[in-house]
A = this chain, B = another copy of it.
Amino acid sequence: MIARARELDAADPLRAFRALFELPEGVIYLDGNSLGALPAATPARLEQVIRGEWGEGLIRSWNSADWIGAARRVGGKIAPLIGAQPHEVVAADSTSVNLFKLIAAALDMQREGQGARKVILSEPGNFPTDLYMIAGLERQGLAARRLADRDRLINALDGDVALLMLTHVHYKTGALHDMVELTKAAHAAGALVLWDLSHSCGALPVDLNAANADFAVGCGYKYLNGGPGAPAYAFVAERHHAALHQPLTGWFGHAAPFAFSDDYAPAEGIDRLQCGTSPILGLAALEVGVDLIAEIGVRRLYAKSQALSAFFLHCLGEWGLDIELASPIDGDARGSQLSFRHPEAYAICQALIARGVIGDFRDPDILRLGFAPAYLRFEDMAEAAGHLREVLHMDEWKRPEFRERATVT
């Protein structure tokens, strides 16, 4: 297996990019879908921002280092990765906060329309924060949540649905929604659509405008390698810009923030999605990660990610390893990860981590292995599969130290 893996690595057109990341010795990192690795260029760029732009430039850097344009600049660089125009994307706040803005903006548009629809339709088991962000609006009397299993979503699109909100690639299983079909069905039912691209962007091609999507959000710290808690991004299709009213009406979304007037007037276009002062350190780190993913190219990344996961499954198959796959078996139907279902998934995950294979556990029974294609090798696949085999065959996961739950899993 290792020999075959090395042949695949030698033929890999992306093999040189691994050196552009700082990866710890002795670790096979299969959790880039939770927190992406550190780009080698990030420490020097942050040093420059901290010592040069902040320390030397001080307040002047809002103009001289274009801090004021950072949210739009980084958003504009994310845009081509998701099939958006540069002026349709802004980098700001967290994914959760951006979800709130856009759910509320959709409800606002539907209030302006006929009928005052207020149902937000999603699926059970969607990433928790996506579902949670409806709760606050529900308590305010502005929204009502409806959940339908993924094969019944289209049936659930009735005349009360204001917004269909889904995560494009499911965080637990990696299963992919058909963005084109669901967007079309939602529009036919008079609903708007919001896609969470947290597990898509940077790992597989996304074409929001080809799908005629209305809104999208996504995470900066997974496949974009923006660092822990990096700023997130938000997309609004150009056709909605003029009518967009989101409730987090802060000064960075104002038409003239430095006029210091008492009354709010939204900025033109996507800028009205900004709220507070831009987080400059976070945006600087995110920009390095986005530049790197853009340089490698999403289509090449996706091709490699499919080859990596296929090879991982091939290794398990060759060794006759019997563990239930929770992800779609068809590579075209999933994102850049493989998830396995096992009642002892937590302990198995801990045993793998002790061996230097870092994946993660998702309650209650999912072992999740992410294959960030920018820095993983086929050799890593063969080795990780070998470790998984040994952990399972040697009952290593039964050791008590692997069963103690940490705060963050």
Interface of A toward B, CB cutoff 8 Å: 22, 24, 27, 29, 31, 34-35, 37-38, 42-43, 46-47, 50-51, 53-56, 58-63, 67-68, 93-97, 100, 104, 108, 124-126, 128-129, 131-133, 135-137, 139-140, 142, 147, 172, 219, 221, 227-232, 245-252, 254, 257-264, 275-283, 285, 353, 358, 360, 362-363, 406-409
Contacts and interface: CB of A to CB of B under 8 A. Distances in A.
Contacts of A275: 94, 96-97, 100
B34 A43 contact: no
A290 to B, nearest CB: 15
A360 B132 CA distance: 41
Nearest to A54: B38
Nearest to A126: B262
Q: How many copies does the complex hold?
A: 2
Given A137-B247, A407-B68, A409-B258, A22 B51 contact: yes
A50 B58 contact: no
Given A61-B228, A100-B248, A232-B276, 15 more contacts: A35-B54, A54-B228, A59-B358, A62-B408, A63-B406, A93-B276, A94-B275, A96-B248, A97-B248, A126-B262, A128-B262, A133-B249, A219-B277, A228-B279, A258-B363
A136 B276 contact: no
A267 B58 CA distance: 38
Contacts of A231: 279
B50 A262 contact: no
Contacts of A42: 50
A94 B98 CA distance: 13
B136 A279 contact: no
A58 B29 contact: yes
Given A35-B59, A55-B24, A58-B37, A132 B254 contact: yes
Contact of A50 (B46, B60, B125, B142): B46
A65 to B, nearest CB: 9
A223 to B, nearest CB: 14
Contacts of A136: 104, 245-249, 264
Nearest to A23: B55
B250 A133 contact: yes
B254 A139 contact: no
B129 A58 contact: no
A16 B75 CA distance: 43
Contacts of A249: 132-133, 135-136
Contacts of A279: 94, 228-231, 279, 282
